[in-house]
Chain A
Amino acid sequence: MAKMKSLVCRECGKEYPTQAMHVCELCFGPLEVKYNYDEIKQTISRETIAQGPHSMWRYHDLLPVEGAATVGPHAGFTPMVRARNLGAYLGLDELYIKNDTVNHPTLSFKDRVVAVALTRARELGYETVACASTGNLANSVSAHAAASGMRCYVFIPGDLEAAKVLGNLIYKPYVVEVEGNYDDVNRLCSEIAAEHNWAFVNINIRPYYAEGSKTLAFETVEQLGWRAPDQVVVPMASGSLLTKIWKGLNEMKTVGLIDRVTTRVNGAQAEGCSPIATAYKEGRDFFRPVKPKTIAKSLAIGNPADGYYALKAAAESGGAMDMVSDEEVVEGIKLLAQTEGIFSETAGGVTIGVLRKLAKQGIIKKGDVTVAYVTGNGLKTQEAIIDAVGRPVRILPSLVSFEKTFKMGKNGQGGA
């Protein structure tokens, strides 16, 4: 029997075959892959996983593809960094950074979801792929499409960071810049997807695509020595990543890889676009869409499709949600760089900013095993911090100039 049973509507439970579709025809609810866990349980074990490739594909049994990975074979299995310096600063004894700033090949967690989406799209017979993106997804789809010889269209908002635009163009997809924000791009792409028979990774391929995010949870558990953490902090745009990390943790228990999951799943947003965190704070189980205005452009989704499920995951797990200002985002980026040597994009600044807040408020406690997800690379969002990092010290190419500038004593402890 196949490991995938069907697609099932998260709202009304109606089942569909595992084809390229994402919406329930009856109630418009999102479709999700239903697995044959009893079967998976028979074959999966810590040992078989450990013998697998050094990529996210070591968890192939729990991913929604039938055959081997044909796209993105090297994605995932990024470092889990024990953050002693940042932990000491925040008063946390056991803090880890899951470092997806170095994911292969396009330096964000999107390489995980795209590897799954494009492998599945090929299985379903597609030759053209497309996406609506705040940047990182487009970069990853462009690169993977180039490597696998697929035709590619990426749709991005008109105000993206230069590196995220360049990071598409270099792979030569069709790059379509839409005059509007991400929510406008998303709406337009939904209409385009209805007219063209393409694999739109975050539209008709979404049930498969989104599952790739679970690998962040799987790796977390394995890298912590087969235990689920006490606390995780996850950045939220649509809410999909947080929802899937919660699902991934629970799946590991379902298939018998770990005995218990007592993880609190915490969500992080930027103040200028915080429909989910605001709903949490106001005690609502529904969100009100907003018009985003934040430097954290990769999280600037005002109409978060998985917002309901993110709120539900936080509630089920006993997690919290919070938001930070743009200044705190920049502070968060600098703090992570200067304590752990990891240069994150703005979304990571949001995560670290909220981690800091939750630690300060005692919501995350000193002894909690805590994992913060840093999902994209700082070189892609240089505009956000360019005025906040100072300038190089400029000197003449002479020893005198150097010594004069740094007033270096014999012990070498001088300073500019």
Chain B
Amino acid sequence: MIKVRIPTPLRTLTKGQGEIEAKGGSIAEMIEHLNGAHPGLKDRLCDEKGELRRFVNIYVNEEDIRFLKGKDTVLKDGDEVSIIPAIAGGA
């Protein structure tokens, strides 16, 4: 099982849960699985072409998937995934 942390804006789709379990061998598969359990979730994360929206950041075990293989990043049992909206600091 993969543990997924859900940001506030998506909790309306997860009955208020901040942490849920999911399956999938990659980020793309995980999103499909999440969408099965919580319909509408994929549309919020991905645009019409199925690409991740540009203000959605996804991390696997604290690492940004853009430093890994993006949506093809491989997931294994016990991995922790965070979905986080982009935020700003600094100048």
With an 8 A cutoff between CB atoms, is A66 at the interface? no
Which residues in chain A, 225-268, are within 8 Å of chain B measured between CB atoms?
A: 234-241
**B40 CB, min distance to chain A CBs, angstroms:** 10
Asked if residues B9 and A28 are in contact (CB atoms below 8 Å), the reply is yes
Bound-state Cα–Cα, A28 to B12, Å? 14
Residues of chain A at interface, number, CB under 8 A: 54
Q: Which of A184, A190, A375 is in CB contact (< 8 Å) with B62?
A: A184
Bound-state Cα–Cα, A108 to B44, Å? 37
Asked if residues A23 and B9 are in contact (CB atoms below 8 Å), the reply is yes
Which chain A residue shows the least CB distance to B66? A289
**B79 CB, min distance to chain A CBs, angstroms:** 16
Asked if residues A240 and B88 are in contact (CB atoms below 8 Å), the reply is yes
Q: Which of A24, A109, A240, A299 is in CB contact (< 8 Å) with B9?
A: A24
Asked if residues B91 and A236 are in contact (CB atoms below 8 Å), the reply is yes
Bound-state Cα–Cα, A134 to B90, Å? 6
Measured between beta carbons, the chain B residues less than 8 angstroms from A234 are 91
With an 8 A cutoff between CB atoms, is B57 at the interface? yes
Asked if residues B86 and A195 are in contact (CB atoms below 8 Å), the reply is no
Asked if residues A27 and B53 are in contact (CB atoms below 8 Å), the reply is yes
Asked if residues B55 and A30 are in contact (CB atoms below 8 Å), the reply is yes
Measured between beta carbons, the chain A residues less than 8 angstroms from B5 are 191
Q: Which residues of A contact B (CB under 8 A)?
A: 11, 22-30, 109, 131-134, 137, 180, 182-184, 186-187, 189-191, 194-195, 202-203, 206, 210, 234-241, 286, 288-289, 291, 298-301, 303-306, 308, 347, 375
Given contacts A23-B85, A137-B89, A191-B82, 20 further A-B contacts (CB under 8 A): A23-B7, A23-B55, A25-B9, A25-B12, A28-B53, A180-B62, A183-B64, A186-B89, A189-B87, A194-B8, A202-B88, A237-B90, A238-B88, A238-B90, A240-B90, A289-B67, A298-B90, A298-B91, A303-B86, A305-B87
